Chains A and B, each alone.
Chain A
Amino acid sequence: MAETDSAPGDPERGREPDIAMWGASGSGKTAFLAALSIALNKSRDAGWRLIGENPVSRTELAKLRNTLLQARTFPAPTEALTYYSWMIIGPPETRRRWWWPWTALPAKAPKIKLDFLDLRGDLYAESESNIDKQALITSLVKSRGLLYMFDPDREARVGDAFKHLDAALHEVAGRMLVGDEYEDGKLPHYIAVCITKYDDPRVLRIAMEEGFTERDPGDELRIPQVPPDRVRDFFRLLCQESYDHNTETILDLIEAFFHKDRIRYFVTSSVGLFIDEELGRFDPDDFLNVIDNAGGGLTIRGAIRPMNVMEPVIWLGSMLRPGAIRNRPWNG
């Protein structure tokens, strides 16, 4: 019997993602990751940083940042299963002993280690015989956090979100729920459902017209936001607006397979809305931050202000690494 070594590309090579990206092609998975570092830097709770854990991840992080900040465009469509080993480091927190609270211990920075799996969106819809699909499903089974990207713009035009979610979800469930390990019949993952491209006029208009938006009195820019408790309903509405009627069932599908308390909904935008510097606040007539350029591609027009990009990641991180981060306002 010949001894056989692992082939190149074998997923069993020592890397297992904590968090897998899930979403159709063009739904903004890679752009979301590219914006994560910027979002952390710009967060109100200053001092957050994103670093690569190894040279590969550092290089990729730099490339993604440069794509947004320097080239002022979006990453190219992902073509292969791609791993990023990143770490989020927060501002140092002062600690005290419960039994002697008058003396502070040396400050300690919270650290969340996050391994992301990015992939080409169409892989979710491939047949099970596809060798990359097998690797993807294996990774999903071994991961415990999911960032599910739902692109309302794409759904309105293509409508393939259900197809991408349904097939892969059943395969993962088939692998995980057949045995006795999960007796409640639910997948053990935490899933952050992210409605992407909030800066897209179609999405923002629905949110505003359907009354899902509110203004945060503390926000000087007066950007309309969807309150956390209304995001789920907004998501359901967007699913109903889809090109594909099956999309309506996505929310039910998610809640059928995952514990409700392990699902959280976010409205996100990787680049945020355009704010005229002279006006200094949101202008409903001039908020497009992504415009066509002369070459037919897309260009980011103004400052990049990621919306709800950091929050789902921090939430997943705190769920997957309990104790790494103490309670914070965005941590519920």
Chain B
Amino acid sequence: MERLTAHWAILGKTPESLDDYGVIRCSTGAITNAEFGMWLKAFTSGTMEPKALPRVATSYFTAGPGGEPWLGLSLQREPDSQDGFHRPYAMTYYVCVRWADLVAGGSRVSYRALYEALAGQDFSGDAPFLLSPAAYDERRLAAQVNPTARRAAALLLTGRPVCVVRAGHLSPDRRLDFLDAVAALLPYGFRHTLAVSTWTNSASLHRIRLSFAEVPPTHGTWELPWESDERPASYPSEALAYEKELERYQGDDLGDLVGWLGTLVEPGDFGDASHRAAATRLLRGEVWARGGRSAVHPPRPSVEQLLRQCRESIANADERRLGELTTLLAERARGRVTDQDRRTYRVFVRANPIRPPERLGASAVLCDFFEVLLRLLYAARMRAVDVEEMLVDLGVPHRPGAAPPAAVLAAMGRLLPSSAPSGRLLIAHLRGPEHLHTVLATMSEDELCDVAVRSRNRKVLEIVLDEADRRALPSDPRGMEAVRYALARHRYLIEAISSVHAAEESVLRYREVLQVGHRRDLTGADIKEILADLDSPPRTFLLAMMTLCAPGTAPALLQTMAGGTMRELSLTGSPVADDVRAGIDRMFSRDGGGRAARYRRSAGLRRLGPASTPGKVLAAASVVMVVAALALWLWP
């Protein structure tokens, strides 16, 4: 802040004086002693009470031939002397600056900054002071704002003075900060006609527009109890509107708003209804009455702030307010929202659960809100994972039968057409069997399998398998065929199942897939068909096959597995491949002729006699062990 020229005066008495209160010392120049005296007395807060001191107050006046506006701040200190009538008197120290100087340049001056600048002066000599008040700190001012400050600012815009009561416990410092905060919630130009005081006597006729008092005046003043939620009787709509606008801003947003209001320096008059109405319109970003459309707009509240207010409106079942906020939220949702933003909002919603009261049910306003919320929090094409995250974000209990609120379901229904297939399935599932059936009816078997594979979502998989099971009826060969081919084309959903199920569950789920696809024990041909296009099937899949193989299909299984392994290893047609086939044949042969005999000969082994019964048992056991060992070896 640049240096400010401040004129000054001291109002009081001299010890033992028989005179009344008067200006006992002042600066020379722009303002005369008589003017100082008149304005200082005109803005008195009432007869001095020691418990109310020190008292800080602001005032405004015009002086000079051109009626130049000034803004002043006074500090009345505790009495330490008596006058000639043995009565204690208090000294008032006063500084005032030209309004034009105050609003020149980019920085503003808060009441506290002016007060601290005053407190640092010695009030000697007769030259004006050169003050260096601290810069306008919108963050600090915003930190002082409480609901009482918002309401006070709003009530001031009714044109009537505001008197804060039940605040006797507040120190003068805290009171000054409050007054500063209230002023900061109005366009800066209104300080032009704003007189505030840390204390007033309500029996006295004073010109203080905003003050603290023990009891409120009897007439014409708003009584505002400190930190009370209770709204004044006959709370005017214009004040309510302004308060609601202010409530949209919290934290850094509020700091931005205070900073922005500080830039609005065009003098405002509390006594002029058009000025007051303009302030409300300005905060709403509407037309500024004087000079056509405003080039400036209030900073928009953050999405978090809007969400917080929506949450309050829902909790209070305030549908009108919720509708207004939803409109604002929709604007934000239509803008660019990054994934990081969405994550941030989701974290916020998760930390601040939105739980509509039952009486709101599935009102249209609430549905609109949730629709906008879902668009904001998740990508435009909602996937299954989004839907599941949403359930978590919205705090839907993770237990069977738990369902989101009706309004959320309705909002989800609106989003259904634009959602990804997996999201559609989950949304429809949440909305109920009828909706699910409607969605499933539009999907082919291929699409079903495709969404299961792509989503890799347990619930989607379950839905798809249930539907496949329903379609693959033995009485409907074409349906069975379609399902079997779709499963085959999508590798029996191996990718989906392996990504969402652990070992035992995988085996069970693969078995379910195979059962749906074949509806019988697997024959050798089935085994060959299944494994023909599967490179390196998971071991759980092979185990699932084994649980379904028909009697006598072991050779086919072994040969198919071996063939697949050899194809995978590019050994097809090699001597080793022949040896493997020969080995398998031998394992399953009942005599020693043929290839087995040749093997034995080439190996130089002596011919074995006919096997005894124990020998047969031993051989059979060996075959089983070999098959098992081979199968295990083949597993990747």
Q: Give the contacts of A24-69 with B (CB-CB under 8 A).
A: 25-26, 30, 54-57, 59-60, 63
| Structural contact, B38 and A158, CB atoms closer than 8 A | no
| Structural contact, A55 and B215, CB atoms closer than 8 A | yes
Given contacts A3-B272, A76-B49, A158-B18, A131 and B205 within 8 Å (CB-CB): no
CB closest residue in chain B, given A28:
B85
| Structural contact, A5 and B160, CB atoms closer than 8 A | yes
* B217 in contact (CB, < 8 A): yes
* A121 in contact (CB, < 8 A): yes
Q: Give the contacts of B1-47 with A (CB-CB under 8 A).
A: 18, 20-21, 38, 41-42, 44-47
Task: Encode A282-305 as 1/0 by CB contact (under 8 A) with B.
Answer: 000000000010011110000000
CB closest residue in chain B, given A293:
B86
Q: Chain A residues near B206 (CB, 8 Å)?
A: 8-9, 80
| Structural contact, A85 and B18, CB atoms closer than 8 A | no
Q: Which of B18, B47, B215, B220 contacts A6 (CB 8 A)?
A: B220
| Structural contact, B219 and A297, CB atoms closer than 8 A | no
| Structural contact, B204 and A5, CB atoms closer than 8 A | no
* B203 in contact (CB, < 8 A): yes
* B195 in contact (CB, < 8 A): yes
* A331 in contact (CB, < 8 A): no
| Structural contact, B205 and A77, CB atoms closer than 8 A | no
Q: Which of A80, A82, A85, A131 contacts B218 (CB 8 A)?
A: A85
In the assembly, what is the distance between CA of A14 and CA of B272, in Å?
21
* A79 in contact (CB, < 8 A): yes
CB closest residue in chain B, given A55:
B215
What's the least CB distance linking A151 to chain B, in Å?
Answer: 9
| Structural contact, B42 and A77, CB atoms closer than 8 A | no
Q: Give the contacts of B255-279 with A (CB-CB under 8 A).
A: 270-275
* A74 in contact (CB, < 8 A): yes
* A326 in contact (CB, < 8 A): no
In the assembly, what is the distance between CA of A83 and CA of B271, in Å?
24
Q: Which of B44, B161, B272, B274 contacts A79 (CB 8 A)?
A: B44
CB closest residue in chain B, given A27:
B85
In the assembly, what is the distance between CA of A296 and CA of B161, in Å?
39
Q: Chain B residues near A292 (CB, 8 Å)?
A: 86
| Structural contact, A297 and B209, CB atoms closer than 8 A | no
* B82 in contact (CB, < 8 A): yes
| Structural contact, A79 and B21, CB atoms closer than 8 A | yes
* A135 in contact (CB, < 8 A): yes
* B430 in contact (CB, < 8 A): no
Given contacts A80-B206, A82-B46, A83-B205, A74 and B87 within 8 Å (CB-CB): yes
Q: Chain A residues near B274 (CB, 8 Å)?
A: 2-3
In the assembly, what is the distance between CA of A7 and CA of B209, in Å?
8
Q: Chain A residues near B203 (CB, 8 Å)?
A: 56-57, 59-60, 82-84
Q: Which of A13, A30, A76 contacts B88 (CB 8 A)?
A: A76
What's the least CB distance linking B44 to chain A, in Å?
Answer: 5
CB closest residue in chain A, given B218:
A54
| Structural contact, A122 and B86, CB atoms closer than 8 A | no
CB closest residue in chain A, given B84:
A157
Given contacts A8-B206, A9-B206, A80-B205, A15 and B219 within 8 Å (CB-CB): yes
CB closest residue in chain B, given A63:
B49
Q: Chain B residues near A9 (CB, 8 Å)?
A: 205-208
CB closest residue in chain B, given A14:
B219
CB closest residue in chain A, given B195:
A8
| Structural contact, B201 and A82, CB atoms closer than 8 A | yes
| Structural contact, B215 and A56, CB atoms closer than 8 A | yes
In the assembly, what is the distance between CA of A11 and CA of B81, in Å?
33
| Structural contact, B47 and A76, CB atoms closer than 8 A | yes
Q: Chain B residues near A56 (CB, 8 Å)?
A: 202-203, 215-218
What's the least CB distance linking A138 to chain B, in Å?
Answer: 11
In the assembly, what is the distance between CA of A42 and CA of B275, in Å?
55
Task: Encode B459-486 as 1/0 by CB contact (under 8 A) with A.
Answer: 0000000000000000000000000000
> How many contacting A-B pairs (Cβ < 8 A)?
137
In the assembly, what is the distance between CA of A119 and CA of B99, in Å?
31
Given contacts A8-B209, A82-B201, A132 and B220 within 8 Å (CB-CB): no
Q: Chain B residues near A295 (CB, 8 Å)?
A: 82
CB closest residue in chain A, given B15:
A296
* B159 in contact (CB, < 8 A): yes
* B247 in contact (CB, < 8 A): no
| Structural contact, B20 and A80, CB atoms closer than 8 A | no
| Structural contact, A135 and B205, CB atoms closer than 8 A | yes
| Structural contact, A77 and B21, CB atoms closer than 8 A | yes
Q: Chain B residues near A25 (CB, 8 Å)?
A: 20
In the assembly, what is the distance between CA of A49 and CA of B83, in Å?
34
Given contacts A3-B274, A8-B161, A60-B203, A132 and B42 within 8 Å (CB-CB): yes
Given contacts A5-B271, A130-B38, A81 and B205 within 8 Å (CB-CB): yes
Interface residues of B, CB < 8 Å — how many? 48
In the assembly, what is the distance between CA of A84 and CA of B203, in Å?
7
* A327 in contact (CB, < 8 A): no
CB closest residue in chain B, given A291:
B86
* B89 in contact (CB, < 8 A): yes
In the assembly, what is the distance between CA of A82 and CA of B161, in Å?
17
| Structural contact, A26 and B47, CB atoms closer than 8 A | no
Q: Chain B residues near A59 (CB, 8 Å)?
A: 202-203, 214-215
* A240 in contact (CB, < 8 A): no
Q: Give the contacts of B380-408 with A (CB-CB under 8 A).
A: none
* B48 in contact (CB, < 8 A): yes
Q: Chain A residues near B88 (CB, 8 Å)?
A: 76, 297
Q: Chain A residues near B202 (CB, 8 Å)?
A: 56, 59
In the assembly, what is the distance between CA of A6 and CA of B221, in Å?
11
What's the least CB distance linking B480 to chain A, in Å?
Answer: 83
In the assembly, what is the distance between CA of A188 and CA of B96, in Å?
44
CB closest residue in chain B, given A81:
B205
What's the least CB distance linking B24 to chain A, in Å?
Answer: 14
* A4 in contact (CB, < 8 A): yes
Q: Chain A residues near B201 (CB, 8 Å)?
A: 60, 80, 82
CB closest residue in chain B, given A8:
B161
| Structural contact, B220 and A14, CB atoms closer than 8 A | yes
| Structural contact, A82 and B159, CB atoms closer than 8 A | no
Q: Chain A residues near B46 (CB, 8 Å)?
A: 79-80, 82
* A225 in contact (CB, < 8 A): no
* A189 in contact (CB, < 8 A): no
| Structural contact, B209 and A81, CB atoms closer than 8 A | no
| Structural contact, A4 and B209, CB atoms closer than 8 A | no
Interface centre among A57, A80, A82 (most CB of B within 10 A): A80
* A23 in contact (CB, < 8 A): no
| Structural contact, A2 and B272, CB atoms closer than 8 A | yes
In the assembly, what is the distance between CA of A154 and CA of B85, in Å?
9
Given contacts A2-B275, A79-B44, A11 and B20 within 8 Å (CB-CB): no
In the assembly, what is the distance between CA of A78 and CA of B21, in Å?
10
Q: Give the contacts of A110-124 with B (CB-CB under 8 A).
A: 120-122
Q: Chain A residues near B44 (CB, 8 Å)?
A: 79-80
In the assembly, what is the distance between CA of A70 and CA of B270, in Å?
42
In the assembly, what is the distance between CA of A135 and CA of B42, in Å?
11
In the assembly, what is the distance between CA of A218 and CA of B605, in Å?
158
| Structural contact, A78 and B47, CB atoms closer than 8 A | yes
CB closest residue in chain A, given B61:
A131
13 A-B contact pairs sorted by A residue (CB < 8 Å): A4-B271, A5-B160, A7-B271, A13-B219, A26-B18, A54-B218, A56-B203, A56-B216, A60-B203, A77-B20, A79-B41, A79-B46, A297-B87
Chain B residues within CB distance 8 Å of chain A: 18, 20-21, 38, 41-42, 44-49, 81-89, 159-161, 195, 201-209, 214-221, 270-275
18 further interface pairs, Cβ-Cβ under 8 Å (given A14-B220, A122-B21, A154-B18): A5-B159, A7-B270, A9-B205, A9-B207, A9-B208, A14-B218, A26-B85, A56-B202, A56-B218, A59-B214, A76-B88, A80-B45, A82-B201, A82-B205, A83-B204, A130-B42, A292-B86, A298-B86
